[in-house]
Structure 1
Amino acid sequence: MIRSLCVLCLMVCLTSACSGDSPGDEGPDLQADAGPTDGGSTQGDGGVAGACEPFGRFGAPGTTLTLPGPSANGEMYIPDVQARFPSTNWSTLDRLYIPAGNYTLINLGNLPHRQASRLLVITNTGGQVVIRPNPGSSQGYIWAMSGGSNWVLTGRYDADSGTGHADFPGHRCGAYATSRERYGILSDDLFLGDGHMGLGIGGAHSFELEYLEITRAGFAGLRILREKNSDGTVSPLNDIKLHDLYIHDTASEAIYFGSTQGAPTPLGSNLKVYNNRLVRTGTESLQIQNLGDGTEVHHNVFAYGAIDWRAAFANYQDNNSQAQVRGGTIRFHHNVFVGGAGALLNFFAQPETGDVPLNVEFTDNYFADTLSLGIWFGGTAGAGARFNWERNAFRGLDFGYQGVYPTATDPGVVLSKAGTITAPITLKENRWEGSRRFISGLTGGSGTVGSVTATGNVNGAVTALTFVDTGLPAGTTTRQLERWTDKATLAPGSPEMTYAAGALVMHDGQLYRARVQNTNKPPPANSAQWEHLPVPVDDLRTAPGTEWAQRGVGLLDVAP
């Protein structure tokens, strides 16, 4: 949900958290190797990958630089990498290597601006890079990167490209079920601080993130922002790719992109978000705003959102996902939105001065399992803008929001919009299950009400989308899984939570099942009341051979 919190400001460095520019045990290693130096990409943005991704995505590296490893206290603190290594040619360096090891903090700043045809690839070398603070640490952040453009941060194992490590391939070759803690770069905040991001990026644009695992962030897993300039303007957040990321078990959002602080905001044109697993988030799985022309969000799984809906940091932070658009052609397609408490999608149109007209498409998405609304469409949009919802499916809209908000009532519709949205809206060939109307004013699947034109929509059974293997106990329903809390702090009077026998909860990133009914019994310390289960494996590819796989919805990289 939209809010204004100082903890969301990206901190490139907090003095209390950094011990100074202290080198590790090893100095930098600068090498020039034979071979091509073109760092261009050979892989497109498609949602369907091969069973085993070919090597050579970035080409063979030429010049490389290996950074110092962790210092005696586990830090890599290089807030100005170009000043730290002045003899490096930052316009042609092919690989910037982070040595394997356990880090309590990484601050890597003033990354270079590069040409799009000559990417700087930043990756792990020699094994896995783990960023994990010491338990009880009071540091203000764990991982910050800033500056530059046309760089890639990757934990991908690619022998030909000289990236990653063979022992930490992540989900390469479709190995989603065994990918946990096996990515080349892993951020684990231990739920240490309420304002902590698993990775915070500021002052940069035109970059790419892939093959990273982020877990147990005290706030958002991944935070991307550009602050206002000294003259009050804001530089754009353009040409960013976020794909093949595994972000799970976060206190708040998995991805938080852009600003909710009011105009002017950083325009996020050409944002590409695809092939990601964003799983078991305390609040929204995905929160992206300030979206501009060329943005495309596709073939992602946003699963088990808002599992902390009873005790989140504020009221109504409990949608599966949230998106806010500003201008241009923007597409959301072939995604899976599963699990929420409020809306499955909280959607806003908020153009700013100078933005081009909006043309937004939601096509071939699967929405399921929440306790209130399917879609909320707010903001302001009039003549010149248009919105198209086509071939989407909705099921599992079973009202139960009064469990925390007792005055809430069943919305009675799948999609609800604000009166300030007067732009043309097309609803075509969508399908929804249950007794609700699709939108207020229409009793069936076709007709016209205000600026809304509906054709060929069907109210009928929707086949449930199934995953290859969630790792949850057989028969578990989406809304059955919640984050453990001693009290429902957002309900009137903050009553204690009583869990029935069989209840499934997450606590500190671990899965537990109630053996008996219990109240105020934290799972780790009460084995008589709670059974500790294996962690979910999260192979969230769409099950092959099903209707949804045939329609190309969700993650589709299924190994033969």
Structure 2
Amino acid sequence: MIRSLWALCLVVGLTSACSSEDSPEDGPDSLGDAGTADAGPTTDGGNPPADGGSGNPDGGGPTEAACEPFGRFGPPGNTLTLPGPNATNGEMYIPNVQTRYPNVDWSTLDRLYIPAGTYTLINLGNLPQRPASRPLVITNTGGQVVIRPKAGSTQGYIWSMGGGSNWVLTGRYDPDSGTGHADFPGHRCGQYATSRNRYGILSDGIFLSEGHMGVGIGDAHSFELEYLEVTRSGFAGVRINRAASGGVAPALNDIKLHDLYIHDTASEAIYFGSTQGAPTPLATNLKVYNNRLVRTGSEALQIQSLGDGAEVHHNVFAFGAIDWRAVFQQYQDNNSQATVRSGRIRFHHNVFVGGAGALLNFFAQPETGDGPLDVDFTDNYFADTLSLGIWFGGTVGTGSKFLWERNAFRGLEFGYQSVYPTSSDPGVVLSKANTVTSPITFKDNRWEGSRRLISGLTGGTGTVGTVTATGNVNGAVPTLTFVNTGLPAGTATRVLEMWTDRAIRAPNSPEVTYAAGALVMHDGQLYRARAQNTNKVPPQNAALWEPLPPPADDLRTAPGTEWHTKGVGLLDVAP
């Protein structure tokens, strides 16, 4: 996805010019400013104030033995507690945290605490460079941290973090490690269905601006994000990039994104890397796992420039591209998009459900100096597209190879012509560009429907060009069911869409008429049409639109099913 620069000013290198006011270096969070949790920063040699007891946070359900173990980060020694929200504007504005607190030993600080409260904006920059053996853990204390702007604000961003390496941003409740809070455990102990608004750190962009990220991270590498909730972002939920300088792009290496709940965003849930052309930052050892990326306007996942050691596994990418009728740009209506550059890369045990243009827009695009590619897609479940299953583009040839093994494809039912009337059924599961000439192997995959696996191949075994297929089966594929989506019983994936008055991607931008029973999302709220209607905004027309409870989003694979047995989908306990 390509964005204009005006929409990206908030992503990297954020300055006071993007804030709601030009805060000085010793701005609203300096010592003495009142906050909702602390009057100023404090340092000590032990744990922060007690956050409540341990044990099962919900008083029932799974036992402690079924929960994530405590002590992941070890007990904290040196800690620093930042001030709470500024009493005047609700901001935390610390673009250079090391300069702000020069007496802190940033090489040994164990915990950086953000006090509980509601912030209109957070800017936390120039984080320290740390060794992998001693990461800096950044977490909430005293309750939940909420970043939520005020309606009508003209601020340039919601939440910016930058600089440094080997730091962890977490809302995980872990009393042994001194992180999080007992009242906000997120999905700990498998409590996915009740996790909404219960993570230690919540970013709610209220759809304030189409250029806003839930959190934007720049000029950093070797960091980790976990146990965060991000919702109602005007652009991407999480945006991560490093800008090239002097024709050289710094690396985006050794980053972990896991146990994130990102839902109801105007565009992507995760937008990682750059699509602005070479040189781009190479993402080696990127790990993306155990995330729920749900109900996104465009792609659920967009990751670029993957390098050696990158691994995307055990995620659920569900209800992608629900704004496909009015998406900001054509061809941004896939479930997910990924670009690979060099090295050994794996995609496995993921669930890709719901897309318009394709379930996966995949590109192999090495840059000058990159080595060969060795990419595997294994044990993934792909379902419910309005057009193509997989598009394989880019330019790659001798020395690289690609394997598709034990994947399943279903719900390949063409319906794209309702917005793009000149489009036609692709007739295949996977379509590739002629510029992809590397060996491709299809082994033991399953797909249902009348389409061919790939152009030129009849059945599941044979050879066409550089493509070799063995043991693939065209036949019925069992539906993967979730524990509890929270949607009305029997809801088909592609039924749910983002409400829009006009299908701006269709010729002449016709008005959209919703039939009785239609399900839509509007401002993060789920509605069902009581009767057929046209151009009736749901919250303003209660006689036509019935508000429904928020989706539960317990997107674990249902126990006792084939897909659960094969380990497809979310992990019981993530490492």
Smaller-chain TM-score bracket: over 0.9
Alignment of 1:330-345 (within 5 A): 330-345=345-360
1:97 is paired with a residue whose SS is strand
**Which residue of 199, 203, 213 maps to 1:183?**
199
Is contact 1:4–1:260 with CA below 8 Å preserved after alignment? Answer: no
Quick check: 2:47–2:178 contact (8 Å CA) kept in 1? no
Give the deviation of 1:232 after TM superposition: 2.2
Residue identity in the other structure for 2:136: L
In the alignment, is the contact (CA less than 8 A) between 2:172 and 2:185 conserved in 1?
yes
Q: Matched residues in 1 for 2:153 and 2:250: separation?
A: 34
Q: What aligned pairs does 1:53-132 form with structure 2 within 5 A after superposition?
A: 53-72=68-87, 73-132=89-148
Identify which of 276, 296, 300 aligns with 2:311: 296
Tell me the secondary structure at the aligned position of residue 358 of structure 2.
coil
Task: For residues 517-545 of structure 1, give each alpha carbon's deviation from its aligned partner in whole angstroms, at most 9, with x where no partner exists.
Answer: 00010000101000000010100000011
User: What's 1:440 paired with?
Assistant: 455
1-structure distance, mates of 2:211, 2:28? 25
Per-residue displacement from partner, 1:461-488 (whole Å, max 9, x unpaired)? 0000000000000010000000000010
Note if 1:136 corresponds to 2:142: no
Match runs of 1:368-447 below 5 Å:
368-447=383-462
Letter in 2 for 1:262: G
Shift of 1:51: 2.4
Of 211, 229, 234, the residue aligned with 1:218 is 234
Alignment CA distance shift 1:543-1:426 (3 Å): same
Q: Distance in 1 between matches of 2:176 and 2:47?
A: 13
1:119-144 Cα distance to aligned partner (Å, 9 max, x none): 10000000000000001111110100
Aligned counterparts of 1:282 and 1:447: Cα–Cα separation in 2: 38
SS in 1 for 2:488: coil
Whole-Å separation in 2 of the counterparts to 1:218 and 1:91: 36
**Residues 504-515 of structure 1 aligned to structure 2 (within 5 Å):** 504-515=519-530
**Aligned counterparts of 2:154 and 2:16: Cα–Cα separation in 1:** 11
Offset at 1:8? 3.1
Residue number in structure 1 paired with 2:340:
325
Label 1:128 to 1:79 Cα distance change in 2 as closer, same or farther (>3 A): same
Shift of 1:555: 1.0
Please point out which of 533, 537, 545 is paired with 2:548: 533
Question: Residue by residue, what CA displacement relative to the aligned partner does 1:489-516 show, whole Å, maximum 9, x if unpaired?
Answer: 1100000010000000000000000000
What amino acid is aligned across from residue 433 of structure 1 in structure 2?
A: E
SS of structure 1 residue aligned to 2:129 = coil
**Could you tell me how far apart the structure 1 residues matched to 2:295 and 2:544 are?**
23
Which residue is equivalent to 1:358? 373
User: Which residue of structure 2 lines up, in the alignment, with residue 44 of structure 1?
Assistant: none
Please give the alpha-carbon distance, in whole angstroms, between the structure 1 residues aligned to 2:457 and 2:505. Answer: 34
User: How far has the Cα of 1:228 moved from its partner?
Assistant: 1.2
Supply the distance in 1 between the matched residues of 2:251 and 2:327 (Cα, whole angstroms): 31
For the pair 1:204 / 2:220, whether they are aligned, the reply is yes
Q: Deviations over 1:186-239 (max 9, x none)?
A: 00000000110000000000000000000000000000000112x221100000
Query: After the TM superposition, which of the residue ranges 19-28 and 76-85 deviates more from structure 2?
Result: 19-28
Match of 1:40? none
Counterpart of 1:15 in structure 2 is: 17
Counterpart amino acid of residue 42 in structure 2: D
Q: Distance in 2 between matches of 1:34 and 1:56?
A: 13
Question: Could you say if the C-alpha distance between residues 373 and 50 of structure 1 is closer, same or farther in structure 2, counting changes exceeding 3 Å?
Answer: farther
Q: Which residue identity lines up with residue 271 of structure 2 in the other structure?
A: Y
- Where does residue 285 of structure 1 map in the other structure? 300
Query: Structure 1 residues 261, 270: closer, same or farther in 2, change over 3 A?
Result: same
Contact 1:4 1:261 in 2 (8 A): no
Amino acid of the residue matched to residue 380 of structure 1?
T
Q: Which moved more, 1:391-400 or 1:312-321?
A: 312-321
* CA distance in structure 1 between the aligned counterparts of 2:483 and 2:571, rounded to whole angstroms: 10
Q: Specify the alignment match of 2:178 in structure 1.
A: 162
Residues in 2 aligned to 1:2 and 1:50: alpha-carbon distance in whole angstroms: 46
TM-score (normalised: structure 1): 0.96
- Cα distance in 1, alignment partners of residues 539 and 390 from structure 2: 37
Cα distance, 1:34 vs. partner?
8.7
Whether 1:276 aligns to 2:282 is: no
Q: How far off its partner does 1:33 sit? A: 2.6
Q: CA deviation at 1:7?
A: 1.4
Q: How does 1:496-507 map to 2 (within 5 A)?
A: 496-507=511-522
Q: Match of 2:44?
A: 31
Runs of 5+ in structure 1 lacking a partner? Answer: 36-48
**Alignment equivalent of 1:521, drawn from 515, 518, 536:** 536
How far residue 557 of structure 1 moved from its aligned partner, in angstroms, is 1.8
Secondary structure (helix, strand or coil) at the match of 1:339 reads: strand
Give yes or no for contact 2:47–2:79 (8 Å, CA) kept in 1: no
Counterparts of 2:447 and 2:513, CA distance in 1: 33
**TM-aligned CA distance change 1:5 to 1:344, over 3 Å:** farther
SS of the aligned residue for 1:237 comes to coil
User: Deviations 1:97-131 (Å, cap 9, x if unpaired)?
Assistant: 00000000000000000000001000000000000
Aligned sequence identity (%):
78
Find the aligned partners of 1:157 and 1:558 in 2 and give their Cα distance. 14
Q: Could you say what the CA RMSD is over the residues aligned between the two structures, in angstroms? A: 1.4
The equivalent residue for 1:550 is 565
Equivalent residue of 1:378, what SS? strand
| Cα distance between partner residues in 1 of 2:128 and 2:75 | 20
CA distance in 2, matches of 1:204, 1:7: 20
Q: Is the 8 A contact 2:122 2:147 kept in 1?
A: yes
Structure 1 contact 14–140 (Cα < 8 Å) conserved: no
Which is worse superposed, 114-123 or 15-24? 15-24
**Alpha-carbon distance in 2 for matches of 1:80, 1:234:** 23
Distance in 2 between residues matched to 1:304 and 1:287, nearest whole Å: 15
CA distance in 1, matches of 2:394, 2:505: 26
How far residue 556 of structure 1 moved from its aligned partner, in angstroms, is: 3.5
Amino acid at match of 2:460: G
Partner of 2:76, secondary structure, is coil
Does the CA-based 8 Å contact 1:250-1:281 persist in structure 2? yes
Aligned to 1:457: 472
CA distance, structure 2, for counterparts of residue 557 and residue 471 of structure 1: 20
One-letter code aligned to 2:176: D
Distance 2:16 2:506 in 1: 35
